[in-house]
Structure 1
């Protein structure tokens, strides 16, 4: 008879680099494959202790905290193929750069940066599944679900702090490519318009230009002009939700394939050119490397669909 070895309680001392991480996120890395609901249940029941005391999921760990990790058994479903596995494996091909501090991904359009809002699977969950040995993997910033391109992942908490500071101080330079309707004026280099976010009952976010909104600015440069469209480089100076998309609409030149802020007639024409997604792509990101403090720049090539669309327009 082949009996399984009994699972044991573990006591894990928190490394200084993990200080500041929420205990629920920490447990996700310690208890691989355990559903989120179970993690919250064991926290609620007090089975997880920090320095012998009960804690809430949002408790932020400190260096040298001792975490009691209870034994949790996950029933193995080896007979059921996991439909996410293929998706996870495909992410490997989208890694543009990786070292011991950061990872840069060319995010595909249509994948959310994290699960939630009815999505069980997002980019960060996929990367954690792809790198099960990584103790720490967190998003540095976000991209809309339908936007493709450069996204930064921190592999150490110190790197995350370093890059967040750069974002706050405006030291990070992000450049996007957007295909917009009509001819963008040669002398229009920026859009400054305050943005207000509204969350609908469904949870959907809609952003509009409003006097009582937050100050927002996007800089623009024409890359290529076509018969009834313009390819722009957009650099957001502020980082508001849907900023580039709403600023393009405000300027009278909505982005191609934008189901929220687009123009149906223009989108129908672009569909004939082969476009069935939002034409907004995070083409490059420049920053100071969190380890060397030297300037680095990463560039993400257009996917096949964006490249084909531009070819058709030419």
Structure 2
């Protein structure tokens, strides 16, 4: 087959010609940028936003913006797209088996996974492969798999994956209307007072001169509220339960720090000497775990709670502290 003059051996044609997609009920309500990312597999997000900005993507023959919410019956024009060849990362057998073994619940609409610490929920920012990419790789026949929400890379525990667009819409609506309850367990330095039951402090993202991104309490930040409860006082530390009312980046970590008790193992917000002291007790990672999640099941509406047991390494760390 003869190559077109504009196609080189170092390029892959993702979309060989203009495509016209008609949006059905399953995709209605999705943002345009997220829809294109799901359709143009392997295309960098920067390129997706570029073709939208240049007007090459059209909705009902008109230009639009990345955050446009698709409507049932919309016609989406997708231009021809080529990207440079690069090896597509593949999930190893050990990783896929680990993810499958971590599934707490699954039906025809959702999956709830007890995410391991150290595994990013998605690729990007120097990470080739995240949990969602590994799951898609392990289940090639599953047409739709999308993250409902996110957990930090080093946080373990309950994570939801939608298997249908309608389930994703349902769960996002529940999140917006405060019908999803999330409970985290964290080990913090020092003795947390029982009377300290919530932190209500606005949070703002910042970028340091080094390029590192951090979150800080700032009057100009977004309103943020976390409720706390003491579970168990331990030597030099406290096991607490945290329930975020809002859902800001690093919210629990920064609110705990603001309360004067940073989370053990947090290499971004906790002093190094504190982390080193607890490493001797076997706590070598961020002690933050999404222990429980309560939702209305998409489809049935039945209220259901999922519990993710603490990982073995955190249990062993608690045991060492109790023995002290």
Normalised by the length of structure 2, the TM-score is: 0.79
* Residue of structure 1 in register with 2:28 after alignment: 19
Q: Decide whether the 8 Å contact of 1:177 with 1:234 is kept in 2.
A: yes
| 2:193 paired with 1:185 | yes
Aligned-partner SS, 1:278:
coil
In structure 2, stretches of 5+ residues that fail to align are 1-14
Aligned-partner SS, 2:26:
helix
Q: Decide whether the 8 Å contact of 1:43 with 1:57 is kept in 2.
A: no
| 2:320 paired with 1:312 | yes
Instruction: Go from structure 1 to structure 2 and tell me whether the alpha carbon gap of 1:54 and 1:181 turns closer, same or farther (over 3 Å shift).
Output: closer
| 2:110 paired with 1:102 | yes
Q: 1:84 aligns with which of 84, 91, 100?
A: 91
Q: Decide whether the 8 Å contact of 1:42 with 1:48 is kept in 2.
A: no
* Residue of structure 1 in register with 2:254 after alignment: 246
Q: Decide whether the 8 Å contact of 1:183 with 1:225 is kept in 2.
A: yes
In structure 1, stretches of 5+ residues that fail to align are 1-6
**Count of aligned positions:** 305
Q: Decide whether the 8 Å contact of 1:175 with 1:285 is kept in 2.
A: yes
Which shows bigger deviation, 39-48 or 294-303? 39-48
**In the TM superposition, what are the counterparts of 1:33-112 in structure 2 within 5 Å?**
34=42, 36=44, 40=48, 61-64=70-73, 84-86=91-93, 87-112=95-120
- Partners of 1:23 and 1:311 lie apart in 2 by 49
Q: Deviations over 1:161-191 (max 9, x none)?
A: 2211221121111100000111111222112
Q: Decide whether the 8 Å contact of 2:114 with 2:308 is kept in 1.
A: yes
Q: Decide whether the 8 Å contact of 1:245 with 1:254 is kept in 2.
A: yes
Instruction: Go from structure 1 to structure 2 and tell me whether the alpha carbon gap of 1:207 and 1:46 turns closer, same or farther (over 3 Å shift).
Output: closer
Q: 1:312: Cα distance to partner? A: 1.2
Instruction: Go from structure 1 to structure 2 and tell me whether the alpha carbon gap of 1:51 and 1:107 turns closer, same or farther (over 3 Å shift).
Output: same
- Partners of 1:23 and 1:209 lie apart in 2 by 32
- Partners of 2:253 and 2:200 lie apart in 1 by 13
- Partners of 1:311 and 1:232 lie apart in 2 by 16
| 2:155 paired with 1:147 | yes
- Partners of 2:129 and 2:306 lie apart in 1 by 26
